[in-house]
Amino acid sequence: MRTFALSLFSLAAIGLLLAQDPTGPAITPRARANKADKAETVIDRPGNIRVDTTLVLIPVTVTNPLGQFVTDMEKEYFKLFEDKVEQEISTFSAEDAPLSIGIVFDTSGSMGSKLQTSRQAVAQFMKIANPVDEFFLIQFNDRPDLVVPFTPSTEEIQNRLMFAQSKGRTALLDGVYMAMNQMKKARNPRKAILIISDGGDNSSRYTVSEVRSAVIESDVQIYGIGVFERMEARSRTPEEMAGPDMLRELAGRTGGRAFEVSNLAELPDVASKIAIELRNEYVLGYSPKNATRDGKYRRVEVKLKPIKGLPQLKASYRTGYYAPTK
C-alpha cells in the first residue's frame, strides 16, 4: 500500500476524532490543472459512465462524514458489482480530466431577487474550470432557450447571464431535456449539468417520467442547487413543494447531488463545492462478466473497503447503465 499523508481534522460534530495515519488517503482536493497541461493524454482520459465495446467506465466521488473529499486512494480500496455480481476493475484513474458542462439557469418571475446571487454562483463555479473544459448556457422561464452553445469561454457565459431578466413561469423539465440533447454535441467524455432554480416545474411540455428516462439513458451527471425559502416562510404551490424532491431524484440517478439553499449568501460557496467535487472523481473501468448485448438496464454498486484510522467513507456514483444492443 502506498504511503499517504492524512490531514488532521476534527469530527466533533459527529463525536469522532481522526488521528493522523500515514497509511490512509489524503483528504485534500486535487490541484487545478495549469493552462500548460493540455496534453492529448489528458484530453483522452475517460470520464462519466459510458459503454465501449468491452469496457464500462464509472466515475466515483469519495467523501468522509464531514463531506471532505478523500483523494489518493488506490484501486484495491474499491469493489465493484454489476447486478450483484462482483466485477474485476481493469482500469483505474484518479486524475482530473476535461469536462463538458451545461448550465441550466432559472429566469422565471420568482427568481427576481435571487438573480444576482445566482449569477455570482455561476461565476464561482467556473473559477475552478480547466482550459480544456467547455460550457453551454440554457436559460428557462416559460420555455427553455439555448443562449450560448458549447464554448470554452467562461466569460461569454457570465456576460450573457448579466442580461438575464426574470419573468414568466418555470419550465424546469424542458430545460433539463434540452440540456440532455445539447450534451450529444459534447467533445469531452466527462459530462455534467448544473441546475440553478428556485422552484418546481409548472410550465413544461415534458413530464417527470420522460425526463427521468432521458437521464437514466444518458452519461451525464446532474447537480442541482435549489434556491428555496425557509420552510416556515414558504407559501408554495404543490409543484413548487415537489421541486426539492424532483431535483434530488434527477441528480441521484446520475451520481450527482442536489443542494437546498435558503440563505442566498451560501449560494456561491455551494456552487464552488460542486465544482471541486467534479474535479475530484475516480474512474473505475471494467469489462462486464455479462457480455449479452440485450439493451437491458444493469445496476451498478461500488463498495469501499474499510481503511484503518478513517471513519466509514461514502462513495457517490451512477447507479446503472443500459447495455448496448449491437
> What pLDDT is stored for residue 93 in this prediction?
87
pLDDT of residue 246: 85
State CA 145 to chain mean position distance: 22
What pLDDT, on a 0 to 100 scale, did the predictor assign at position 236? Answer: 59
pLDDT the model gives residue 241: 67
Dihedrals phi, psi of 319, to nearest 5 degrees: -90, 5
Per-residue pLDDT of the chain (326 residues; tens, 9 = 90+): 333 333 333 333 334 333 344 445 655 455 444 434 433 333 333 344 554 457 888 889 999 998 888 988 999 999 999 999 999 999 998 878 889 999 999 999 989 989 999 999 999 999 988 889 999 999 999 999 999 999 999 999 999 999 999 999 999 999 999 999 999 999 998 899 999 998 778 889 999 889 988 888 888 999 999 887 665 555 555 666 666 788 888 888 888 889 988 888 999 999 999 998 888 889 899 999 999 989 899 999 999 999 888 899 999 888 888 888 87
What CA–CA distance (Å, rounded) separates 266 from 287? 42
Q: Would the CA dihedral through 201, 299, 78, 98 be positive or negative?
A: negative
The C-alpha atoms of residue 25 and residue 67 are separated, in whole angstroms, by: 15
Comparing C-alpha atoms, which of 316, 185, 195 is closest to residue 246? 195
DSSP, collapsed to helix, strand or coil, labels residue 224 as: strand
Backbone angles phi, psi at 137, to 5 degrees: -125, 125
| Res 198: pLDDT | 85
Torsion, Cα 254 257 258 264, to 10 degrees, reads -140
**Predicted local confidence at residue 237, as pLDDT:** 59
Longest Cα–Cα distance in the chain: 57
Q: Are strands 99-106 and 134-140 parallel, antiparallel or unpaired?
A: parallel
Domains annotated for the chain, with CATH where assigned, are 9-90+292-322 (no CATH), 99-278 (3.40.50.410)
Residue ranges of E strands in the chain:
9-11, 16-18, 50-51, 56-63, 78-82, 85-87, 91-93, 99-106, 134-140, 144-151, 190-197, 221-227, 258-261, 282-286, 297-304, 314-317, 320-322
d(CA 136, CA 157): 7
pLDDT at 160: 96
HSE value, Cβ hemisphere, 13 Å, CA-based, for 206: 20
**Which residues make Cβ contacts (< 8 Å) with residue 114, sequence separation at least 6?**
198, 227, 264
CA proximity to 226, closest of 238, 204, 241, 209: 241
Element (H, E) at 108: none
**For position 141, what pLDDT does the model report?**
96
